[in-house]
Amino acid sequence: MIETETSILGAGWAGLLSAKKEIETNKRITLIDKDTESNLGGLLKSKDIDGFLFDVGGPHLLFSRDENILGRIKDILGENCSKLARNNFVRYDDQYIPYPFENGIYKLETEKRIKIGRELIEKMIFQAQHSEWKPETFMDWITGFFGDLMSNEYLIPYNKKIWKRPLDKMAADWVFSPGRLPFPQLNDVLKSVAGVESIGYKEQAFFYYPKSGGIYSLYKNYLDEITSKGVNILGGKRISKIEKEKSGNFIINGDVKANRIINTIPLPEVLDAIDEKYSDLSSKFDWNSVVIVGVAISQPTPNQTTVYVPDPDIVFHRYTWMSAFIHPKDKNTSNIIAEITVPKNELIDLKEIEKKTINGLIRCGAIKDENKVLFSTSWVNKYGYPIYSLDHNVNREKALSILEEYGIKSVGRWGSWHYWNTDMVMKAVDNTFKTK
């Protein structure tokens, strides 16, 4: 039996951040993860294959509205940090329209940009006159702010591809906060309709990224810091049973004894490990897995970062030029990762997905032809995107109150069940430890 003071379930980003906080008051900490020690990182894994660097959990751009959090993330990277311009596009009408689309419409033919602009302004007028208006569903939110053309030809097909659920069966509360200014901004829309370029969300014009090692180096720096302070890591151990003894101690998988648990593994996984009586509740949590297809190409990198692809006939919803973040040695070669979501527990045929991805990249004009492909590879992330089903708040609250009864705090993208980036996870861990 391994004995520890605090056991942290999950050694992803949330697990490491929690360990860093916990170590301020307690030196005996054990992180447990299903992945082996040589394959840790959660969603922040990167792989170097023949000099091409791929982020295995999807492209990870570091940015935040919260300057303090962003500063702390940059500090973890130290000297190993680049500031890069974000050149995102939407593939629409066989063109690359600068992102965000409502700013990029200046590229479209006159009739189309007038129609999109007029509909956006009509929505703004409606919003200004009906401040009490509140979208019930994600679909209401899209159509309530963006008008028919932009909704039908871009936002609806794109979101159907990423979420793979009826958009009117998804909640709106994660995108809509009452009182927030409706976007886009009138001035930007007017400029775009007039055919003039405008930038859009300024806080997203740049991002930070490790100079070497991919996003994993953010994780690795932190991992090294906490292990050097004595934090213990138990890898290759999928948590499937958590028992609480009368004394208040926890026994994890029958062989780890802890006085205290902090959870960062997905809520349905921890509920199932506590008691099978929670299986009804755990089955209500819905998510998408995400397949990442990496492709190395014998072509140079264009001046692009990520391209969003609403076309329903193309398998991926977006692709990113990883070689724009970290250049391969040979400037005449490049590499891409494309993202494909798969609803929870559906079978995944990686060979078929890779084939369709390469075809899609050729159709988008990213790859000239199949002969330019040096190699392709793929990875499955079982937990990619939490789904904001209509009852997500009720289910989350129930799960968190069950964990609280057991004396377990839960945090992270999966431990809080929120569509959070690294910055929001950091903020949530701060808040969790404030109320210790």
Ligand X SMILES: Cc1cc2nc3c(=O)[nH]c(=O)nc-3n(C[C@H](O)[C@H](O)[C@H](O)COP(=O)(O)OP(=O)(O)OC[C@H]3O[C@@H](n4cnc5c(N)ncnc54)[C@H](O)[C@@H]3O)c2cc1C
CB of 413 to ligand X, least distance (A): 4
Q: Is 33 in the site for ligand X (CB under 6 A)?
A: yes
- DSSP-derived 3-state class of residue 136: coil
Contact 147, 123 (CB under 8 A): yes
Residue 218 near ligand X by CB under 6 A: no
Q: From the CB of 377, what's the least distance to ligand X, in Å?
A: 16
Choice between 57 and 328, CB closer to ligand X: 57
Q: Does 22 bind ligand X (CB under 6 A)?
A: no
Residue 163: name the closest of 185, 141, 147 by CA: 141
338 exposure class (CB count in 10 Å sphere: 0-12, 13-18, 19+) = buried
| Inter-axis angle of helices 267-274 and 392-405, nearest 10 | 40
Query: In this chain, which of 8, 19, 61, 403 binds ligand X, going by CB under 6 A?
Result: 61
Task: State yes or no: residue 15 binds ligand X (CB under 6 A).
Answer: yes
383 makes contact with ligand X (CB under 6 A): yes
Scanning residues 394 to 433, which ones bind ligand X (CB under 6 A)?
Answer: 412-414, 420-423, 425
Q: Tokens at residue 20, please?
A: 């860093």
Counting Cβ atoms within 10 Å, is residue 311 exposed (0-12), middle (13-18) or buried (19+)? middle
Number of helices and strands in the chain (H, E): 14, 18
Write the CB contacts of 43 (distance below 8 Å, at least 6 apart in sequence): 12, 13, 57, 58, 60, 381, 413
**Is the CB of 90 or the CB of 274 nearer to ligand X?**
274
Q: State how far the Cα of 45 lies from the Cα of 125, in Å rounded to an integer.
A: 45
Site string for ligand X, 295-334 (x = CB under 6 A): ----------------------------------------
CA dihedral 307→312→315→319, nearest 10 degrees, is 0
Q: Does 151 bind ligand X (CB under 6 A)?
A: no
76 sits near ligand X (criterion: CB under 6 A) = no
Backbone angles phi, psi at 299, to 5 degrees: -145, 150
- Nearer Cβ to ligand X, position 105 or 258? 258
Task: Indicate the residue among 119 and 225 with the shorter CB distance to ligand X.
Answer: 225
How many residues in the shown chain lie near ligand X by CB under 6 A? Answer: 37
Which parts of 55-146 fold into alpha helices (H)? 67-77, 101-104, 110-129, 138-146
Does 200 bind ligand X (CB under 6 A)? Our answer is: no
Minimum gap (Å) between residue 385 Cβ and ligand X: 6
Binding of ligand X at residue 294 (CB under 6 A)?
no
For ligand X, the closer of residues 101 and 417 by Cβ is: 417
Contacting residues toward ligand X, per CB under 6 A: 10-15, 32-35, 42-44, 57-62, 238-239, 264-266, 269, 290, 339, 383-384, 412-414, 420-423, 425
